[in-house]
Amino acid sequence: MSPLAKEECFEILFKRDKEAGRKENTKIIDECCVICGGHRWHAIRCLKGYKRFLAVQIPQNKSIYP
C-alpha cells in the first residue's frame, strides 16, 4: 500500500474513531491493522496522534502596551 493511500485510510479511520465508542474503536483498530498491514500498537499510535486534524495554536502577537 502506498504512503498516500495509507494517509487517506488513516484520515477516514480517524474520523470514525473519534465518533465511536469503546467497542467500535476496537473494530476500527483491527480494521486498520488488516488494511495497512501493521501491528495493533502502530495503528493506535497513528490514530491517536494523527496530525492533520489536531488543532495547532498559533501564537497571537498581542501588544503589551495599549
Using CA atoms, how far residue 1 sits from 8, 9, 36, in Å, is 11, 10, 7
Using the predicted structure, report yes or no on whether residue 14 has a pLDDT greater than 60: yes
Whole-number pLDDT of residue 19: 85
> Where along the chain do its domains lie?
3-48
The pTM score is 0.63
Q: What is the structure's pLDDT at 12? A: 87
| Secondary structure (DSSP) of 16-60 | HHHH--HHHHHHHHHHHHHHHT--HHHHHHHHHT-TTSS--PPPP
